[in-house]
A and B are shown apart, each in its own frame.
Chain A
Amino acid sequence: MSMKETLKEKLGLTDKDFEKPLPKPTAWSKPFWDGANQGKLLLKRCKDCGHIDHPPYLFCTACSSEECEWIEASGKATLYAYAVNSYGVPFPFVEDLPYVLAMIDLPEGPRMISNVVQCDPEGLKNGMQLEVVFERASEEITLPKWRPVKGQAINLEAVRTINGEGNDQNL
C-alpha cells in the first residue's frame, strides 16, 4: 500500500487532503506564471532603475517606480545551499519523499527557493550549475524547477566570491 493509501486509511483522510498547494497569482505576479506556462522563466525588471525584483511586488522595491518590463532569464543558475526533506512534511508532499529544496542563485541577481529534480541527492554540491525545467502542476500553473547540468566541474571558491561581491545587490 502506498504512503497515501496508508494515511487515508489510518487517519480517515480524503484525496482533498493530498491536493498540492499551488500559487495564487497576484496582479503583479501573473506574467511570471503565464511565462512559466509557456516554458519561459521571466523576471520583473524596473524600466526606470533596472532593478530586478523576485518575488515581484506591486512596484519596484528599489525606486518605487511602477514602470516595469518582464525579461526572460538565462535559465541557468548555481546551487547555493540545499536540504533533503525526508520526514514530517504536509500530507500533499509525503509521496514525493525524499525531495530536495534549495536556495538557487540566478546570474541575473535574484535567489529563489525551488526543487532540484532529476538528481541523486547525495551527489549534490554547493556551487553546482543548474538548468531550469518546467513541471506542469495544473491547468493554470507550471512550476519552474532545476536540475544539475551534466558533466560539470564545481568551483566552490567561485561561489563564495560571487556571493561575497553580490551581497548588497538586493538591499
Chain B
Amino acid sequence: MSKAEFAIIGTGEVPCGIYPARSEFEIAYRVSKMAIEDAGIDKNKIGAALTAVHIMGSEYNTEMFFGRLPEAIGANNCRVVATTVSGGGSSFSIRKTAEGILSSGEAEYVLVVHAQRFSQFTPNEQAVFFAHAGADLEWEVPYGMTYNALAAMMTQGYMEYTGTTIEQVASVCVACRKWANLQENAMFRDKQLTLEEVLKSRTVAYPLTAMMCNVLCDGGSAYIMTTAENARKVCKRPVYILGEASDYSHRTITKSKMKDLGRMHEFYTPVAQRAYQAAGLGPKDMDIFQVYGAYPFANLMFLDAMGIVEPGRAGELVESGETSPGGKYPASTNGEALSFGHTGTGVGFSCFVESVRQLQGKAGRAQVEGAKFLIEDCGGGAFMDVHFTIMGNEDPNL
C-alpha cells in the first residue's frame, strides 16, 4: 500500500433514458461543462480530453478520434486527445490512460467523457450488435446466440451450482430499482418494481425474465481527474483512487479461466483482494459496494467476491434487504444497468461518477450518510475481464 496518486475533483451527468432528440455530441459537451463547473476549475486548464467510444459506432466516434471535443468546449490549452475503449471495462481502461497522462506531466487536469445514444438504432440492430459483442461470430452466433442467452445460461449455471434461487436473483432487480427511485438521473426514477413483477414478466431467455434484462438507452457522464497532491490544493473534497486491480479471462465464454459457474469467486476474489491490499483497507472498511453486473446473477457474482458474504451466498444478502437503501451493505447505489439504464460502455462510467458523488456527499436522496470508502467493479465483453477499485474521500496511507 502507498499513498494515493490520483483523485477526482468533479463530475457531470445527464438523465439516462430514451431521448432521441438529444445527440451524443450534445451529451458530451453538456457533461463536460457540468464536470468542469463542478470541479470549479477554468476550462482552459484541461490538458487532456479522453472519450470512450459510442459502442455501436457512429460519426461521433470519428469526430472524437479527431479532436472535436476540446474545440467544441473551448478547452484552449488541451494538449492530448485520445479514445480508450474495452467494452464495459472502459471506465477502468480510460482511467488508467488518464493516470498515465497525469504521470507524464503533460496535463494537470484530464477530462474523461462518455456519451451514448442507443435510441438511434432499432431493437433488432441492438440485438444483433449485442449478440456479436457477447458471442463469437464463427462458433456461437450461427446457433442463435444472444447476449441475453449468454447471461441466461450463466444465471442457470450459477443458480444450479451455488443453490441460489430465482427469487434471490430477482431481488437484485428490486434492490437496484429502490436505489434508482432515489436518483434524479435514473431511467426508472419514477417506476417502482416488485419481486412479483420481476418474476411474472415475460420470459426472454429462460431463466431470465424481461425485468432481469437491460434496456439500452441514452445517457452520458464526465469527470475531472488530477493528481492527489493537486486535488488537495484545489478541491474541498477530492475522491482518491486508493487501490486498483485487474484480471483478464477470455474472449469466448467457453474459454473462461474458471469453468465452474459455482466457483467464479475463485477468479474474482483474488483481484478484489489485491485492490483492498493496495488501499490498505478491507471489506469491513467499505461503506458502499458499488457493483456493476448488468445482469442480476452477475451482480451477485461480483458481490460474492467483495468479501462480505461467503461466496455463493450473495443472493441471501440481497434478498434480506441489506443492500437496499437503509441496509447495512448499500450496493449499486444508482441502480446500475438494470434500473439506472444501460448505456453500453457507459454503465461503468455512471457507477463511477455515482461513487464520486457519494464520497463527495453530493448524492442527494441516495446519499449514504458518512460514506468514506467504497469498492466498485467493472468489466466487459462476455465477462472477459474484471477491474476492482477502492475509492475514498480520505487517504488512509497519507
A-B contact pairs, 22 of them (CB 8 A): A21-B142, A55-B252, A55-B255, A81-B154, A83-B153, A83-B207, A84-B203, A85-B146, A85-B148, A86-B204, A87-B203, A88-B148, A88-B213, A101-B143, A101-B145, A101-B152, A101-B205, A114-B143, A126-B157, A145-B143, A164-B263, A169-B259
The answer on a CB contact under 8 Å between A88 and B153 is no
The answer on a CB contact under 8 Å between B254 and A110 is yes
* Shortest distance from the beta carbon of B132 to any chain A beta carbon, whole Å: 9
The answer on a CB contact under 8 Å between B142 and A111 is no
Given contacts A83-B149, A88-B213, A89-B146, 12 further A-B pairs with CB under 8 A are A21-B137, A23-B139, A26-B138, A29-B138, A55-B136, A82-B156, A83-B150, A86-B202, A91-B124, A101-B152, A143-B143, A167-B260
Q: Mark B185-229, 1 if CB is under 8 A from A, else 0.
A: 000000000000000001111111010010000000000000000
Residues of A within 8 A of B261 (CB): 80-81
The answer on a CB contact under 8 Å between A167 and B135 is no
* Shortest distance from the beta carbon of B151 to any chain A beta carbon, whole Å: 8
The answer on a CB contact under 8 Å between B139 and A83 is no
Q: Which residues of A31-48 are within 8 A (CB) of B?
A: none
Residues of A within 8 A of B157 (CB): 80-81, 103, 126
* Shortest distance from the beta carbon of B271 to any chain A beta carbon, whole Å: 16
The answer on a CB contact under 8 Å between A143 and B138 is no
The answer on a CB contact under 8 Å between B144 and A99 is yes
- Residue on A nearest B131 in the bound complex, by CB: A90
The answer on a CB contact under 8 Å between A113 and B204 is no
- CB of A133 within 8 Å of the partner chain: no
Closest 3 A/B residue pairs (Cβ): A81-B157, A83-B152, A84-B206
User: Whole-angstrom distance between the alpha carbons of A164 and B202 in the complex?
Assistant: 34
Residues of A within 8 A of B149 (CB): 83, 85, 101
The answer on a CB contact under 8 Å between B205 and A83 is yes
Listed residue (B140, B143, B148) with the most chain A CB atoms within 10 angstroms of its CB: B143
User: Whole-angstrom distance between the alpha carbons of A86 and B212 in the complex?
Assistant: 14
User: Whole-angstrom distance between the alpha carbons of A156 and B137 in the complex?
Assistant: 31
How many interface residues does chain B have, given as a range?
35 or more
Listed residue (B123, B150, B260) with the most chain A CB atoms within 10 angstroms of its CB: B260
- Residue on A nearest B161 in the bound complex, by CB: A160
Residues of B within 8 A of A22 (CB): 142
The answer on a CB contact under 8 Å between B144 and A96 is yes
Residues of B within 8 A of A107 (CB): none
User: Whole-angstrom distance between the alpha carbons of A141 and B208 in the complex?
Assistant: 31
The answer on a CB contact under 8 Å between B139 and A102 is no
- CB of A119 within 8 Å of the partner chain: no
- CB of B262 within 8 Å of the partner chain: yes
Residues of A within 8 A of B136 (CB): 55, 113
Q: Which residues of A122-143 are within 8 A (CB) of B?
A: 126, 137, 141, 143
